[in-house]
C-alpha cells in the first residue's frame, strides 16, 4: 500500500496549503519507515520543506530529513552538501527571533523546532569535519 501511495504523497508535498504539506510529510515519514527503498523519491521534496516559514511544516520537514538520513546514505550525503548551511541559518533565525506568542514556550521561541534542528545537525555533522565546521558558530552561541 505504501508503494502505491508514495507518488500521491510526493505530489502533496508540493501543495500550496501548509497543513496539507505537513500531513504529507508525516505520511512520508511513515512510508520510508515501512519501505526504506522509497527514500530516494522523497529527498528533493524533503529538501524543499527545509526552506519553509511555517513552523509546523518546517518541523515535519526536519524530521523527514532526519529519518531519510537514517535509512539512506545517499540522502545523508545530499543533505550534508546541500542543506547544512540552510539548517544552520534556520537555527540562527529561530534562536535570534524576537518574541512571538504563537511559538513561545517559557520565553524560548519554539523549543521543539530547536530540538529537531539540533538532532538533524548532529546526524549531518557526525563523521564530517566540513559540516561540523559550518555548525560551530551557532552551536557555540
pLDDT in tens, 35-58: 999 999 999 999 999 998 888 999
CATH number of the CATH domain containing 123: 1.25.10.10
Q: Among 57, 74, 75, which Cα is nearest to 66's? A: 75
Look at residue 74 in the predicted model and tell me its pLDDT: 93
Separation in Å, CA 25 to CA 14, 22, 52, 63, 100: 10, 5, 12, 9, 25
Report the domain count for the chain. 1
Alpha helices in 50-110 (DSSP H): 55-71, 73-82, 84-96
Give the domain extent around 131.
Answer: 1-140
3-class secondary structure, 104: strand
Low-confidence ranges of the chain (pLDDT < 50): none
Amino acid at each position: 500500500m505504501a508503494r502505491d501511495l508514495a507518488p500521491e504523497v510526493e505530489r502533496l508535498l508540493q501543495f500550496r496549503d501548509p497543513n496539507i504539506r505537513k500531513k504529507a510529510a508525516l505520511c512520508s515519514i511513515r512510508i520510508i519507515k515501512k519501505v526504506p527503498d522509497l527514500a530516494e523519491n522523497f529527498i528533493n521534496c524533503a529538501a524543499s520543506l527545509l526552506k519553509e516559514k511555517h513552523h509546523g511544516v518546517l518541523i515535519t520537514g526536519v524530521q523527514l530529513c532526519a529519518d531519510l538520513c537514517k535509512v539512506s546514505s545517499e540522502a545523508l550525503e545530499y543533505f550534508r552538501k546541500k542543506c547544512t548551511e540552510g539548517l544552520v541559518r534556520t537555527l540562527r533565525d529561530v534562536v535570534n527571533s524576537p518574541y512571538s506568542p504563537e511559538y513561545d514556550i517559557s520565553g524560548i521561541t519554539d523549543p521543539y523546532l530547536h530540538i529537531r534542528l539540533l538532532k538533524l545537525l548532529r546526524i549531518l555533522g557526525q563523521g564530517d569535519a566540513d559540516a561540523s565546521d559550518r555548525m560551530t558558530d551557532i552551536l557555540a552561541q
